[in-house]
Amino acid sequence: MIFPKYLDNSNKIGVTAPSAGVTKEGDHTRFHNGCTALKTKGYDVTFTDNVFTSDPYGRSSDKETRAREFMSLITDTSIDYIVSAKGGDFLAEMLPLIDYDIIKKNPKWVQGYSDNTSLLFSITTLCDIATVYSYHFGNFGMNTWHKSIADNISILEGKLKKQTSFDMYQNSFDDNTSGFCFTDKVMLKSGRKTNEEIFEGRLIGGCLDVLVDIAGTKYENAAGFAEKYADDGIIWYMESFDAVGERIIINLWKLKELGWFKNVKGFIFGRPCFYKSFSDLSYMDAVMTALSEYNVPVIFDADIGHREPQWTMINGAKAKIHYDNGKATIVYIY
């Protein structure tokens, strides 16, 4: 596994929009604030042209432009950290235009979440380069940084290896400049109804909605990844944006049939953003219906994904997860 070099304040951050762009006034404010906040830490920030554009359907630009601007940051030797502007729906359209051979020759941190899953997952499973599943650039522009945002930078600077589940989370899908609006207590759960679970392995995952979209295409090598790192074992992390319980069962069945879950040591699921079921099936029950056969730890409602705050998940990194009565820690093993 190739790990890009740790960041320091001599590095430059590149922001691009491989999915949606940002056009709202509040987004512009946060991006300006994010530049200011990062510059106080010594980081220069540059934006590609498509960050502040959008077509009527939520694409920042056509697929050719999105691929070209992303690759321009890959080949720019002054850039060491690429952060996505936003999520969306259409990032996968640009995957056929990505030059993975060039990415292999220019490993650098690439970060995003949600629709960015397809890009991150393809880089890690095809190129064997670690990627970052965490905040989009706008979160760096909140007036007061939450600890999870500071942790994000500290992890990529090599200063932090341990994250602990937070006390509260935001049970809404809001963009604001002042900070998170916490409403609910963080309380993780064990799918096996245990009080404690300890497991370790190599992390891989992302947004389940997007993983299913690219599963079985040439833009993923999850089964090969699971085989290559069989001695370490695999920890799968997932979260859902718009999930239906009955479809979760079938989606996880599909991934099982494709060989994704070979050598699995455990699963950890984030809080679902929007969830429904036509048969009153809970999210946990839907997942356990599909995964209980593995008889490994399955942890729910972790700080991963759209119901913030978020942990910084490093695809390709070895990690140890300790669940203990509703709380959890994740420690990176470098």
Q: What does the alpha-carbon distance between residue 239 and residue 260 come to, in Å, rounded to a whole number?
A: 16
Same domain, 156 and 250: no
Same domain, 139 and 35: yes
Q: Considering the domain boundaries, does residue 7 fall inside one? A: no
Same domain, 100 and 239: no
Same domain, 140 and 186: no
Q: Considering the domain boundaries, does residue 44 fall inside one? A: yes
Percent of the chain surpassing pLDDT 70? 98
| Residue 181: both structure tokens together | 């609006």
Q: Considering the domain boundaries, does residue 3 fall inside one? A: no
Predicted confidence at residue 22, as pLDDT, reads 95
**What is the domain-level CATH number for residue 308?**
3.50.30.60
Same domain, 111 and 200: no
Predicted confidence at residue 334, as pLDDT, reads 84
Per the structure, the count of domains in the chain is 2
Q: pTM of the prediction?
A: 0.96
Q: Do the beta carbons of residue 23 and residue 29 sit within 8 Å?
A: no
For 114-151, the pLDDT digits (tens) are 999 999 999 999 999 999 999 999 999 998 899 999 99
Average pLDDT over residues 42-71: 96
Domain termination site, one of 103, 135, 160: 160
Domain termination site, one of 160, 179, 194: 160
Q: What does the alpha-carbon distance between residue 11 and residue 81 come to, in Å, rounded to a whole number?
A: 8
Q: Considering the domain boundaries, does residue 262 fall inside one? A: yes
Q: Considering the domain boundaries, does residue 272 fall inside one? A: yes
Domain termination site, one of 127, 143, 160: 160
* Range(s) of the domain holding residue 54: 12-160
